[in-house]
Each structure stands twice: as C-alpha cells, then as structure tokens.
Structure 1
C-alpha cells in the first residue's frame, strides 16, 4: 500500500486476487476484504487462477515486478518489509532511485465513527463477572467498552490509525484484534497493524505499549529480547497462559511469550516454518496462528492457513493437532478428528468450565460457529451457515444454522452466551447456547 501511494509517479501497483480458499472466489467476499483493508489500488479478480499459472506463481503472497516492456525483472515469495521491497525493485529504478512524493493523509479515520457503529470488528472479549464486553472495532482503529447487554461505557482511540499511548480517546491503535484479561484486571490487546502489544487500565482509561517497535519484523524470532526493542510481525491474538502473555504472531507463524515483570519477549513455540507439523514446542510448525484460548491447563490455537485447531501442552512440552490435515485440506464437515474440515478459522474461545474443555470456533470462511470437544476431537456446527453441506454467508438472525453471518472473525463465551464479531456485516451477534437463538446485539451509547 505504501509503495502505491508514496511512489505513484514511478510505480504502478496492481493487485491480483488468486484465491486459495473456495470462499475467496465469492465476489462479495472479495469486495468486503478490499474495503476492510482500505485497498485503494486496482485489483484484478483471478478466480480460475489464469494469471497465477501464466506467471508461474507458487505461494501467497507473491510480488512480481514488471518493467515498461512487460518483462518480469524481479519476484518475491512471502511477506516483505518496505526496505527489502524497494531493494528488490532495484532493476526498475532510475539513476536517482525512487523518489517519494508527498504521502497522502490516511483517510481511514477522517469521518468520526458513531459510538454504536462498528466497521469490520475483528476482536472481542466478554467477562461475565465484570459484566464487561470489549469490542475491537478494527476498521475504526479503536476499542468499544460496554456491558454485556450492549450499553456502551466508553471508547478508547480517536479513530485515526497510529501508535500513541495515553488516556481515553487520545490514544491510537492500528487494526487492533485479539484481547485477553490479565490476572490484575488489565486488558492486553494485539495491536496488529502496529505489530505491537498494548496494555490498558480500564479504570484509569490509560493505554501503554509493552512490546514491539511499531515496525514489522523482517525475520522469524530466534531468541529472547527486550520486549520494547524486539519487532514482531502481525500479532493476531493474545492469551494469559502459564504466567506469561502468549501471542499468536501470524506473520512469522510462531507463538511468542511476554514476561511482563522482566519486560522480555521470547519465542515460545514454532520454528517459523509454515506448515502443520506436531512435535516439541521449538520444532512444531504453525500456519498463520490467529486465535488463542486457554482451558484445562492447555493452550489451544486456531490456524487460518491450515484450517486447523492445535493444542499446546506445557506438561509434555509438545504441540498436538486436534483438527486439520494440511495447508490445502479444508471444507465444511462436522465429525471426529481427522474427518473434520474447517475453512480458514480465525477465532477461538473456551467455555469457563476447565474440567471439560469445550471450544467455540469461528469457522470464518464457512460463516459458521462450531463447537469442539477437545478430549474426543468432536466438532459440530451450532450457529450460522444454513443446512446445506457447504456453509452460506449472509446477514440474518435466527435459530441455530438458520442464522447467517459473513466472515465471523472472533468470539467470546460468557455463561451460555457466545458473543461473535460478524465482521463483514459490521455487527456483534449473540448466540444463546441454551435456546439456540442468535441475534444482533444492539449497542446503545
């Protein structure tokens, strides 16, 4: 995005959307994704992978540099930091290199958001004991703090993307997502777009940065370091586990752990290779870990790119697969163990009862909420998607699977209620596990 805006006089950026998952072939889902990420440059839909094959693409994402004569002069597979990207475009540069123009102001926060209006909410926390609901209003770069019945108490963040600590609405976030409550009552937030972790005192309405530099990590994390001096890549979710704040670092396919007392950040699990490989913590491979939940003394991980649910057991020091078969095995199938298929799950939440760990899954690209009994590896759909074999997206309240959601990205459980960010519909929905009814939560200022 920055290349498209800052170097527009010399570089034309054109996106090509070659879908991996079946849900990504839907034009409505593609349009929502482009708006959600504020993509301003043109994007070509390539549903049949025609351009993918013509350019011999092998991985998502891949950057291809084409000169004025139509010749491919450079390519890069995987995520890349801006300095490395500019270096890879060296063959296209003139004698003076790339000359940056005046960067336009980020307009995503120009129009102030109404207190009860959400834009692509992608994180949520529910605490029954505190009668507390916190919504990551991701597209508005802010947090909405409310009661469980939707009465808004206050907001944090002024709606303009940035990395600013402080008080109340004078602080700034950039695409905040996952959250976790710490034992001392502070709220931890994965500030995904800033590649940082923030801590919030909900009583004083103060926000501070405790990990990350604000810059995207260019390599996987290989050893411990000072948290405020160590870059991360797209922290997506957080969870308090085994006395530390664990982080799903989606960009480097790792789990990190933050020691708040010492101010140190360390790699806790994952080699940094993308894959679905069980084993000892340091040797296991993850594929875009995106959701975290704690139950029964174990950590559970939702992985988007492998459509899998994993278990981290500190007693054995190993990672174990519960659901999912590989990077290209997905679908919409209930069942037990290896027969189960999900499609790009982003959210995970645990029931309060640790004695019988049951997890709720935001099966994002199937538009469903499912339940997983971790001991038996049994998965069953409970809300959304309709009665057909393949889930259908939409925007509708209803009972059980008669409800319709569009790309639900996060959820939280409080008692018999499941709070869901119905992300592309811009609302929060509440599913009652006792009655099976799901309705939109009306936020009231």
Structure 2
C-alpha cells in the first residue's frame, strides 16, 4: 500500500491576496483543498479558472481552492501585477504569492498549471498537470466528500473571504485588451466589461455594443453579449467589424449598418484538438482566439490557446489551421512544420503576417506568398529567453509581448511586461524602445519619459498611434510626429450599470 503524503504547510509570512489573513492547511482540516499552481501569463492556466470557479461554487461548504502564483516572468513576481491579474480574470479564491518557487518545490511541481488535491485529513491524494477535465475533477471531489462524510472527517461550513475586487474602484473602461482606429471611429475591446466601445476621435461615444455582462448572445447592439473580447479587424467597404471573442472561443461579426452582432465561427466551447484541422465555421470549436487581421476575404487569427495561426474564408465560412503544429515552442520552417507559443497579436503588410508570439517573447513572420515560410524576426525564441534588451535579431529581449501593428514599413510592438512600446524593422530585425521608461505607471509626456501598465493593444491611423493601456484602464494616444503621449478622455462613458446622471466618470466601489 502506498504511504499517504502529508501536505506541506503553506507559508504564513508570504503575501496573500483575496483574503484578510494567510490560510493554513491545519485550519482548513475537514475541507477538500485544491492548490492551483499557476502564472498569469499562461493560457493553459487561464483555461483552468472556469473549472475551478464552477467547483468552488458547487462545493462552497466543503471545498477551498487556493491559487499558488509561481511566476514565470520577472514582471509576474510583482504583487501589484498579480493583484491586477486577479481582478482581470475575476478570481474569487485566495492567492498565495509563491516567492522564489518555495511552495512549487515543496510540492515537487513541474509544470503550469498543476492542481494538487488535498483531502480533509491534510494528505495529498492526487494531482493533475495540465488543463483539468471538469467532469473528472467534479467526480473526484464528490467521491472524496462522500468518503470523508462517511468517515466523519469532513467539516461542512461556509467560508467567507475579502476579495480584491471589493476594494477596487470601478472605472469607465476595465482592462481594455485591444484598440482599433478606423475611418468609422475608435473601436475599443473593453475586455473587463465584456463589451465593445465605439467612439469618434474626440472621445464622443457613438455605440456601446454588448450588455456588459459575460455571455454568448447574438442580436442587436443592446442585446448582444461577449466574454472578454480582444482583437478586432475592420471591413471598411461593408462596415463590418470582426472580433476575437476570446473567452467564448468564438469569432463574432459586428455589422455597423444593421447594428447587429452575429457569431461566425466557434461553438462556444473550448477545443482541445491541437492538431491542424478544418471545418465549417459554426461547427468547429476554437481555442482562445486572441487577435485577427483581414487580408482580402480571409481572416487570419492568432489562436493563442492552440499555439497556431488559423484562417477563415469569409465567402465559404470555412475555417482551418494555417500555420503551426500545435506544439508550444519556436520552430522556423514551413507552415505545417512551424511552432508558436501563445500568439496574441497579429498584423500584416499584405505579403507576410507578423505575430507577437507572447510566451517566447518574440516577433515572428508568417509568409502569405510562396515559399510560405515562418521566421523569427527578433527575440530569442526560447520559452525562458526574455528580458529588456534592444538590438538586433536574436540578441533582442522582450517580455511577453501582446500587441503588434504594421505601419510605414515598421512594426510597433507592445512589449507588455516591460511596460514599453518598441519599434521593430521586419527586414533587419532591429528593435528599439520608443515609448516608456520600463516602470509600470500612468505618465503622459514624450518618448521614453512616459509610463504604461501592461499595454496590450496597438493601432495606427494617419499620424497617431493608439494604445490599449490595459492595467491603467485607459486608451493612450501618441502623436507620431512628436512622440507626445496623452490619455484619451471619454466624457460620456461609464461602466455598465453604474452611470450616475451628470457624472459619467463617477468612481464607485464594487459591492
């Protein structure tokens, strides 16, 4: 018989979030405990969160989930940045900041995400590395609760927490992930509010698209629902916006003329098939589409969850893998042999797609014409080869870049975890910092005498660059002639359900 392993106690002198006090496994005796080892950059870790939320609500009197944040990137080690991730992804369980991988090592964890299941007597009884199957985990917990109920070793009780979101002021925008400047106006993916905002360039609100509540509903602008929408591309001729509705795992079409939203690809369920495949748009499950760009009648999609680039023919509504084997990594080769690592930004010059390949902190090129090759333009191409180094080609170091925009023969890059905006030459691989001093903050000014907080989206129109400054909950505007950075004001905008007449920017707190 295999000896049972007593779970190592959790450090009480480390930083804890979403709780007033550190939690100990000793005080949780009598409850099932799941330790979720995660890092907030990781798409697979994010895929586990809905499962955990479902289970912690279903078994709220007998299950405690504790997130153990063991950071991959340097930027993810900062407590405030972890707190922002908790708010962005609406995490409602306690999170322990695992400084120096202490808890990770004590539990012999080897990969993100990993779930450790601890029984009511304080013993580790199982673990799951990778994305957990919700039904299997649900069954395991139900059996564990029944077993210990029969033994008399379970302690049913409500467990209350003080969440970070209860202390967070409500802002007109919430974690805007992407922005798109078009002749029709400025489209903003108001990701944290699960809606789209369309304004003119003076900040006047033209349309609010979506109810502001997470869901998957087609229909009129005031009826439609999204879930953490991200990248967008615009068909000027037909006045149609295409959207990566990331947490719904779908692509949506927003018709400005008819003022209706329609789902054009995805089933609403996450695909677990990473192998290249194809099918009818509405019959093919997708995996966290993060950004897209339109070339002719084809949409190209940065499919972050399956580490691939996909394409959709807008005439036939067929969707298919364009590049990437589905393995996470960096491999330059033909379309079918190449590998990516959580591609999160996409743009094009018409001859080549350019990708912000976030988990390898690199900029990639994907051919649209023969010989259809994939190349690395700059960055190390290594999963742990990150930093903040300007220079040439493989000597360049970025840190989890999420946004990219082609304009005037150059690539603007949102070097997200370095809080900077950089300029890359696709022909030479040269990369230089243009905006931001590398510290998280909200500071207008000129050039490097400015600050951002995890900027994630970029869009250029005429002589201005627009930046989705995600953790600052604002849109920034850059005059490309002077490099002067300002914050765009939206006087008529407020968060869903909290508008107070005459004071659109009133700051309230979450209940």
Q: TM-score, normalised by structure 1?
A: 0.90
Instruction: Give 1:293-332 correspondences, 5 Å limit.
Output: 293-314=347-368, 315-325=370-380, 326-332=382-388
1:3 to 2:55 alignment: yes
Structure 2 counterpart SS, 1:310: strand
Task: In structure 1, list runs of 5 or more residues that go unmatched.
Answer: 98-106
* Cross-structure match for 1:102: none
1:433 to 2:480 alignment: yes
Q: Tell me if the contact between 2:239 and 2:257 (Cα under 8 Å) persists in the aligned partners.
A: no
Give structure 1 regions of 4+ aligned residues with deviation exceeding 4 angstroms: 87-91
Q: Tell me if the contact between 1:412 and 1:419 (Cα under 8 Å) persists in the aligned partners.
A: yes
- Cα deviation 1:74-111 (Å, max 9, x = unaligned): 222233442354356576363799xxxxxxxxx9x9xx
Instruction: Give 1:35-434 correspondences, 5 Å limit.
Output: 35-86=87-138, 92=144, 94=146, 117-127=172-182, 130-182=183-235, 184-241=238-295, 243-314=297-368, 315-325=370-380, 326-351=382-407, 353=408, 357-384=409-436, 386=437, 391-434=438-481
Cα separation, 2, equivalents of 1:393 and 1:312: 32
Change (3 A) 1:327 1:90: farther
Cα separation, 2, equivalents of 1:444 and 1:259: 39
1:33 to 2:33 alignment: no
Change (3 A) 1:96 1:174: farther
Tell me the CA shift for residue 313 of structure 1: 0.6
Q: Tell me if the contact between 1:167 and 1:207 (Cα under 8 Å) persists in the aligned partners.
A: yes
Q: Tell me if the contact between 1:80 and 1:218 (Cα under 8 Å) persists in the aligned partners.
A: no
Cα separation, 2, equivalents of 1:235 and 1:89: 31
Cα separation, 2, equivalents of 1:42 and 1:96: 24
Q: TM-score, normalised by structure 2?
A: 0.79
Change (3 A) 1:20 1:342: same
Q: Tell me if the contact between 2:295 and 2:350 (Cα under 8 Å) persists in the aligned partners.
A: no
Task: In structure 2, list runs of 5 or more residues that go unmatched.
Answer: 1-52, 150-162, 493-511
Structure 2 counterpart SS, 1:428: strand
Change (3 A) 1:438 1:84: farther
Q: CA RMSD in A?
A: 2.3
Tell me the CA shift for residue 218 of structure 1: 2.2
Greater mean deviation of Cα atoms: 218-227 or 295-304: 218-227
- Cα deviation 1:106-155 (Å, max 9, x = unaligned): x9x9xxx99x910111011112xx15110000111100001123221111
Cα separation, 2, equivalents of 1:69 and 1:241: 58
Change (3 A) 1:76 1:121: same
Greater mean deviation of Cα atoms: 263-272 or 235-244: 235-244
